[in-house]
Chain A
Amino acid sequence: MESSKDNLRAPVSQKPHVIEKPKDTSGIGGMITVEINEKKITVPLGTTILEACNDNQIHIPTLCHHSDLCIAGVCRICVVEVEGMRTLQAACAFPITAPLKIKTSTPMVRKARRHILDLMLSEHYGECYSCFRNQNCELQALAKEYGVDEYTFGHVNTPRYEVDRSSASVIRDMNKCILCKRCVRTCIDLQEVGVLEAINRGHETHIGTFLDKPLADVICINCGQCINRCPTSALRANDPSDEIWAAIDDPTKHVVIQTAPSPRAGIGEEFGLEPGHSLTGEMNTALRRIGFDRVFDTNFTADLTIMEEGTELLNRLKKVIVDKDTTVKLPQFTSCSPGWVKFIEHFYPEYLDYLSTAKSPQQMFGAVIKTFYAQETGIDPKDIVSVALMPCSAKKFECNRPEMRDSGFKDVDYGLTTRELAKMIKEAGIYLPEMPKSHFDEPFGDASGAGLIFGATGGVMEAALRTVYELVTGREVPFTNLNIEPCRGFDGIKQASVLLENCKDEYSFLEGVEVKFIVAHGTANAKKVMELLRKGLLSDVHFVEIMACPGGCIGGGGQPIPTSEEIRKKRAEAIYAEDESLTLRKSHENPHVQYIYEKFLTEGPCSHKSHELLHTHYTKRGRFIA
């Protein structure tokens, strides 16, 4: 499957006008020997100087470069000397095609880097100690690395731009922007949404939206991928922690938190751990110590989502196959990623009928907490403050959608990101990795591994297949250890199928049906899938999982910074390992899920009551901005 980079859109100036590396480097000229700092290094043709240095323990500072994005070569901090060239060259952008002599730390190079930093700092409004990226800022780190101890070319002390706080998810403070354009490349090239672009030129250049409108008024899908790649605090999520502290401190409030699968796999990074350490139990304890009254596992409603969405799929299949109902749409698309939902609402509003009507696990939990849980515990729902710990910035927008008030209240009061929780934990004086472990609270104490793997791309599909296959055939999915490998991995678009045989009587209409499914992550890939749908090429596909963020939720816009494919893979591995360690690994076997259908949603999945609480509808937003 082609990678998302094959289909780049404007700004083409940011396109990697690179020299293709040869597929086979054994031919003549396939490998080139260069001298870097007098050391001979042999690299494949087309390798950039930066890549060559990185592979050889030579540190080159970078700012506009990001491993997920195409080359820009604009900040110029990575300049090096190349013998025979009049000017310094940007190491990130310079492909090696000839035997060069390169020097990475000469007086000219050091002076240039220092000058560039001095220039950036001269325009950089604000101070590190009052900044959310303090100690996790690439600009600050470089200032330290280059020993900046004065503002050689001055320092602004009045802001130039108004901070854009319009969006429920993303706050833009262009006074901190260094114009590295990572956000532009993220939004346009990586996500293919195209909200952010440089406006004006010269000193007036700034990153803006269409006609410089507030972010809330344009087609931003709130994915937060731009935040994760911004080297400074110019972009950040809309942080509700003050309000949450206030609720915790208010004795009349019953504050509950549900925690999604991905934050536990990422939060350790905020405490200096290597990526790939799950801190589920430690986090539960920390949350209680902070003062949350109950700690729930979103995986529980992920299991519930599987029951609802799986049943919806079976219903759709039945309507199409048995009733020959042509108004029913297939394939069914997942709806648990609010970034993806907003994407389809903007870009493919005519296809909203393909989306599952099931709410996301966050919103299902919200609805359940202020109804079923309130009922069971006898707490007045108006006194419940429901917080959702999410790896995601779009969840903040989602919980504010007007349709998400089916409990009669705002179902979820606050979406809190992994980063924001880490900050709260630190503020409470807790060092998370050393917390004793504890379990989630009843009545939703257990969740399955199927719910857990929702965090990685392909996880929803895998969880759904584990359940749907078993519901239909009465047998476990035919994959070793229940690990449905075709759903896993980081290919942009994955496609596979499962054959349904020896079906139970009530599902005899599915006998011999090969269930075809597609898994895509990142909205650039989603767009490719939607284009296939538009061309009518998905008529034999039944189920499509789409996550707005590259890697799925583990790469969400609320996860620890930095991000890279390597980091995302490690987080995914942590999730899959935890799934395998569990005994409960199928959503339909979750006793708490069975309990809620017995006690509360007594008519079963996709019934009237579950429709009222657990399903939703969508808005045809379109692409045109008023």
Chain B
Amino acid sequence: MDISINKSPRQGAVLFSPYLRGEGIQKALEIGRENILFEIRESKLKGRGGAGFPTATKWMLVAASVAKEKFIVCNADEGEPGTFKDRVLLLEYPELVFDGIVIAGYTIGAKEGIIYLRGEYEYMLQSLEDYLSKMREDNLLGNSILGQEGFDFDISIRLGSGAYVCGEETALIESLEGNRGEARNRPPYPVNTGYMNRPTVVNNVETLASVPHILLKGGEWFKKYGTDKSTGSKLFSVSGDCTRPGVYELPWGTKISELLEIVGGENAKAVQVGGASGSCIPRSQFDRTLAYEDAATGGSIIIFDKNRSMLKVLKNFMEFFVEESCGQCTPCRIGNVKLLEGIKDIERRNYTFSYINKLKDLGRTMQVASKCGLGQSSPNAFISILENFKEEIFNYNGFGGTNGK
């Protein structure tokens, strides 16, 4: 799968629109906490990390709590297969991400921001550190930022070590605290008992990067893009069988077919929206829209053309989950193995429909009974691919598809 980044000058209405470093922070300090929260709420910005939780609500909960310390954590773990848009933001638009973190810190009353950087992104560590040093030089970090008495704030970068589950916010916090990367019980939520048991906001890179623009241009402006329930625009990491893979900024509400046209993926037979934990959309449903209320995604779009064996695609996803489950809870630890075994049975043509149906049923239990989002979403692909590609998978001639690629 080619996931190289589209190097052409980026175009986009919101994130990729012009921005000068520090502008957002300046504005934030001018208008004050309440107005920041007001603008963000107006914008109806929702989390870009996948879950789509309203950002203003999260910030307000932490801003309103009384605690000795609070933290803002930027989730740059970017582990969902087929996602590489946070990498683009960090490399090419660090001013947006870092200003967003500073603004968040200011709003919630944190003194410390932490970026949890995907282990594989270690190569960008030095340039990010250099960038932070420059911010400190220019008093965009440090004490009394931009002359604002009492606003002391700094950002540190911490490296993950390659576990997908550590992108889940509570596992991320465990990892930050030096423990096994395992999701916590919720409630209590991180906004209440987060990093070091203090109120903590965890936000995706892209969520934070949207904030400076919203403050500068207003929530109303932001809402002009997207749909009523999914405001603004979204970065999509497009990979797979298309001629122009890469990162695209498109308004929410874009139809899958429209996106395919833009990226040169008109020959697709299926699109995996939302990565391994998302769902697989067949050609017949390409008029569905990319939006929280329809086909939701943290940004991953993987395109499959007619040469792909959907069974192999599915097997690939399930192998990923078997590998990446943290292993603490029963449905996910063992359930994923059973689903994968079921796929292998199909591959060997040694299955009964009644057993496959039992596995789908098991998948539905995993969706509701697993402890964290990983196990809750890992059966999505299994259920949606077996549902939507019945013909291909169960009537296949050999290896599915035409040439078994």
Contacts and interface: CB of A to CB of B under 8 A. Distances in A.
A296 interface: no
A299 B192 CA distance: 53
B371 A73 contact: yes
Given A88-B368, A203-B322, A198 B328 contact: yes
Nearest to A10: B179
Contact of B330 (A18, A74, A86): A74
B356 to A, nearest CB: 12
Contact of B187 (A10, A94, A122, A181): A94
Contacts of A115: 331, 335, 361-362, 365, 369
Contacts of A119: 330-331, 334-335, 338, 362
Contacts of B188: 17-19, 95
A90 B185 contact: yes
A459 to B, nearest CB: 38
A17 B179 contact: no
B334 A76 contact: no
B376 A17 contact: no
Contacts of A123: 334
B247 interface: no
Contacts of A76: 329-331, 369-371
A87 interface: yes
Contacts of A19: 187-188, 192
Contacts of B179: 10-13
B370 A201 contact: no
A25 interface: no
Contacts of B328: 13, 72, 74, 179, 181, 198, 205
Given A17-B185, A76-B370, A97-B187, A202 B327 contact: yes
Contacts of A77: 330
A401 interface: no
A34 to B, nearest CB: 14
A113 to B, nearest CB: 8
B181 to A, nearest CB: 8
Contacts of A203: 322, 325, 327, 333-334, 336-337
Contacts of A181: 328
B184 interface: yes
B35 interface: no
A152 interface: yes
Interface string A90-129: 1001110100000000001001100110011011000000
B174 interface: yes
A112 B174 CA distance: 27
Nearest to A93: B185
A148 to B, nearest CB: 14
Interface string A409-422: 00000000000000
B193 A87 contact: no
Nearest to A118: B362
Contacts of A283: none
A198 B193 contact: no
A95 B163 CA distance: 29
A202 B365 contact: no
A76 B322 CA distance: 18
A95 B325 contact: no
Interface string A1-35: 00000000011110001110000000000000000
Contacts of B197: 17
B303 interface: no
B327 A112 contact: no
B324 A202 contact: yes
Contacts, number: 130
Interface string A64-75: 000000011111
Nearest to A85: B368
Of the listed residues A17, A94, A153, A200, the one surrounded by the most CB atoms of chain B closer than 10 A to its CB is: A17
Contacts of A178: 330
Contacts of B329: 73-76
B300 interface: no
Nearest to B335: A119
Contacts of B365: 111-112, 115-116
B268 interface: no
A87 B369 contact: yes
A116 B333 CA distance: 11
A12 B177 contact: yes
A79 interface: yes
Contacts of A11: 179-180, 182
B92 interface: no
B369 A79 contact: yes
A162 interface: no
Contacts of B333: 179, 202-203, 205
A71 B328 CA distance: 13
B371 to A, nearest CB: 6
B354 to A, nearest CB: 11
Contacts of A90: 185, 371
A122 B333 CA distance: 12
Given A152-B358, A202-B323, A13 B180 contact: yes
B182 A179 contact: no
B29 to A, nearest CB: 34
Contact of A87 (B192, B322, B368): B368
Nearest to A18: B188
A330 B335 CA distance: 57
A15 B90 CA distance: 34
A181 B165 CA distance: 19
B92 to A, nearest CB: 33
B208 interface: no
B371 A17 contact: no
B70 to A, nearest CB: 16
Contacts of A71: 185
A165 B51 CA distance: 47
A151 B243 CA distance: 48
A115 B358 CA distance: 10
Interface string B160-195: 000101000000001001111110110110001100
A204 interface: yes
B207 interface: no
A201 B177 CA distance: 18
A112 B376 CA distance: 13
Contacts of B192: 19
Interface in B309-329: 322-329
Nearest to A181: B328
A197 B180 CA distance: 10
B107 interface: no
A72 B370 CA distance: 13
A38 B324 CA distance: 39
Of the listed residues B197, B335, B338, the one surrounded by the most CB atoms of chain A closer than 10 A to its CB is: B338
B367 interface: yes
A112 B368 contact: yes
A485 B174 CA distance: 43
A13 B323 contact: no
A71 B337 CA distance: 26
A17 B329 CA distance: 17
Contacts of B331: 76, 112, 115-116, 119
Contacts of B177: 12
Nearest to A203: B337
Nearest to B326: A201
Contacts of A202: 322-327, 333, 336
B211 to A, nearest CB: 27
A111 B371 contact: no
Interface of B: 163, 165, 174, 177-182, 184-185, 187-188, 192-193, 197, 322-331, 333-338, 358, 361-362, 365, 367-371, 376
5 contacts: A19-B188, A73-B329, A111-B365, A201-B324, A204-B327
The 10 A-B pairs with the shortest beta carbon distances in the complex, nearest first, are: A205-B327, A93-B185, A119-B334, A202-B325, A115-B365, A73-B185, A112-B369, A13-B182, A112-B365, A201-B327
Given A76-B330, A119-B362, A203-B337, 11 more contacts: A11-B179, A71-B185, A74-B330, A75-B330, A76-B371, A115-B362, A116-B331, A179-B327, A179-B328, A201-B327, A202-B333
